Amino acid sequence: MKLLMILYSGSTPDRISALLDQHEVPGWTQLAHARGAGTSGRRDASRAWPGESTVFVTVLPDERAQEIGAVFRAWSANAAPAERLHLAVLPVERFC
């Protein structure tokens, strides 16, 4: 099992949930208004550091995680300049 954590910065997080639905991901959670700093800059919802991120998480079997990861890597490569997407894939010891 793998946990996919998708970090999206842009004005249309509905695109990400639509991709999850389109690829029949059976369950996922969306966390809005995430703030932080990283390689693509700071996001703090302030005038000095505008913007926020949306975090999506899902737990999938290894094979499905690879498939969905490839979908998001391809999407990220073609994203609009104002959008950023980062994907983390983490091992899951147990999910119940």
What the block records as the tokens of 11 is 């004005």
> 2-35+46-91: which CATH architecture?
2-Layer Sandwich (3.30)
User: pLDDT per residue over 6-57, tens digit each?
Assistant: 999 988 999 999 999 999 999 999 999 988 887 777 776 677 776 789 999 9
Distances (CA, A) of 7 to 15, 56, 57, 88, 94: 13, 7, 9, 8, 23
The pLDDT assigned to 82 comes to 83
User: pLDDT per residue over 50-80, tens digit each?
Assistant: 678 999 999 999 999 999 999 999 999 999 8
Measured between its terminal Cα atoms, the distance across the chain in Å is 11
Residue 83 pLDDT > 70: yes
> If you search the block for the tokens 């737990």, which residue do you land on?
59
